[in-house]
Structure 1
Amino acid sequence: MGVTTSSSGLIVRAEWDDSVYPTGTKITDKQLAELKLQPHQWHGEWNYSTGSKRHRPTSK
């Protein structure tokens, strides 16, 4: 998927990220609770919002 547009006009851009990220990071239950994750109805264990409504554009 490079660029696609939904029927409502939403434009989605994606690109491959071959960076290496750390794995196995442990956080406490308190730290997780502070994130205020809002699970989505469909597979909320994978899909969630963080509560932030502010759009932050990315730059290249």
Structure 2
Amino acid sequence: MTSRSLLSTILMSIAIVSAISACGRKGALEPPPASVTSMPGEPKTVAPPVQDKRFILDPLI
């Protein structure tokens, strides 16, 4: 393998890993607050807000 071929292989690997890596929170998807609706006959239940956990890399975002 030439150095140019090796470099392009490494760059493509980094690009693919970056594209398929996950970011965000682990868990189920949450709909936006404005889109939550209930049926007319159902009682409305309000869940307490979840405390957001700090992560060491948060200041970089």
TM bin (shorter chain): under 0.3
Larger Rg: 2
Structure 2 length normalisation: TM-score?
0.21
Structure 1 length normalisation: TM-score?
0.21
> Which one has the bigger strand percentage?
1
> Which one has the bigger helix percentage?
2
Which structure is richer in relative contact order (CA contacts within 8 A, separation 6 or more)? 1
